[in-house]
Structure 1
Amino acid sequence: MAGFFAMISRMKYIERWGLMRCTRSETLAEHTLETALLAHALIEIANARFGKSLDPGRAVLLALYHDSAEILTGDLPTPVKYHDEGIREAYRTIEKQAEERLLSMLPDDLRPAFAPHLGEGGEEYGAYVKAADKLSALIKCIEEQKAGNREFDEAAKTILKHPSLALPEAQTFLREYLPAYRLPLDEVERYVFQKS
């Protein structure tokens, strides 16, 4: 019996931001969907504005599975995960083992189709997925700040300094699209039409 999809479905039970006081919890499934949407956006920006010819489907698939290991490992808090290179390397090994365990839950004939989507995804597409991942985290910080939660102030500053957000496409997103996330719902539409 293959259990891969039943395990992937459990993303909705994994909560993120374990060390932070949140006004609203966020699940791995929510983060994954947002990361996939943002990865798609970044690839479309790359193609339209920066003359690239990248496959948005590839980026979206990588984003959908980018944190799938956390179904088995849980969401290790960033201060722990990145404390030093030894811990980071050990966690990479654990993530790889979790990904292999998930793949083993697929029948042999489907494993080759899913294997390329788990893990880093290579240099080019991996950079876009990492940027999308950080943008999703930044959006969570903004949502918490809007709710008056100062707990996320430092996290937002740290995320903005992450090297993945130096991508020109990520800078475009930060400049053109991120400001709308700071607005209340009734002002978002007004903001969009004022800018055009």
Structure 2
Amino acid sequence: MQTSSFFAIISRMRYIERWALMRNSRPENLSEHALDVALIAHCLATLGNVRYGRHLDADRAALIGLYHDASEIITGDMPTPVKYANAEIRDAYHRVEDTAQKTLLSTLPDDLRPVYQKILSQQQPADADEAYLLKLIKAADKLSALIKCIDEAQAGNAEFATAEASTRTIVEDMARELPEVQDFLTEFLPPYGNTLDQLL
């Protein structure tokens, strides 16, 4: 039986540092970020089901969250100001991401590839529930970034002040459409940055 390098490659998420253009009080790697996004995405989907009568697959939200930036193992983390500087760069980077995803998928055994393609490739949602779930995962990604900014501010690092303000605006805009995001902002975000004694 032939070997597959897929999970050995995925394990390298821990070596991809985020926020490359920023001075960090504590570096954050892609593996940490992926876990945060998975946890938050699961929470948002659960809020949707419990409070808003939705029929979302919270476990799938967590799974997609874990893999949502897997292509960055190959591409590296492109800083947001660069990635979205203009339409030409944005579109080119999306093509690079697509190629990286295909490269990752090519390392899987043929029989497993279709399963992981459904996790890694989220361009055409199957139905309205899936489309809504993908919006929540995107919101979880932004919430994770906001939490990083809050953590840096708590550590006395003013470097993230502008990023915090712009990310908070994006998240608040999302919350107008996604009530689950507003619930997270109201109930779960405020304790971030507290000490363990305060949290307990």
TM value normalised by structure 1: 0.93
CA distance in 1, matches of 2:114, 2:122: 16
Equivalent position to 2:174, from 160, 164, 168: 164
Residue number in structure 1 paired with 2:7 = 5
Quote the offset at 1:120 in angstroms: 3.2
Residue number in structure 2 paired with 1:187 = 198
Residue number in structure 2 paired with 1:84 = 86
Residue number in structure 2 paired with 1:134 = 142
Quote the offset at 1:57 in angstroms: 1.2
Residue number in structure 1 paired with 2:151 = 143
The number of aligned residues is 189
Structure 2: gaps spanning 5 or more residues: 126-130
Q: Is the 8 A contact 1:134 1:165 kept in 2?
A: no
CA distance in 2, matches of 1:161, 1:139: 13
* Identical counterparts, % of pairs: 52
Instruction: Spell out, residue by residue over 1:100-135, the C-alpha distance to the aligned partner (whole angstroms, 9 max, x if none).
Output: 000000010110111010033632221011000001
Backbone CA RMSD of aligned residues? 1.1
Quote the offset at 1:165 in angstroms: 4.2
Residue 175 of structure 1 aligns to which amino acid in structure 2?
T
Q: Which secondary structure state, in structure 2, belongs to the residue aligned with residue 109 of structure 1?
A: coil
CA distance in 2, matches of 1:61, 1:96: 19
Quote the offset at 1:38 in angstroms: 0.3
Q: Which secondary structure state, in structure 2, belongs to the residue aligned with residue 180 of structure 1?
A: coil
Instruction: Spell out, residue by residue over 1:124-164, the C-alpha distance to the aligned partner (whole angstroms, 9 max, x if none).
Output: 22101100000111110011000000111111111112143
Q: Is the 8 A contact 1:15 1:26 kept in 2?
A: yes
* Greater displacement, 6-15 / 152-161: 152-161
**Counterparts in 2 of 1:142 and 1:128: CA distance versus 1, 3 Å:** same
CA distance in 2, matches of 1:113, 1:120: 12
Q: Is the 8 A contact 1:4 1:103 kept in 2?
A: yes
Q: Which secondary structure state, in structure 1, belongs to the residue aligned with residue 190 of structure 2?
A: helix
Q: Which secondary structure state, in structure 2, belongs to the residue aligned with residue 179 of structure 1?
A: coil
Q: Is the 8 A contact 1:143 1:182 kept in 2?
A: yes
CA distance in 2, matches of 1:119, 1:187: 40
Equivalent position to 2:21, from 19, 22, 32: 19
Equivalent position to 1:125, from 92, 112, 133: 133
Residue number in structure 1 paired with 2:61 = 59
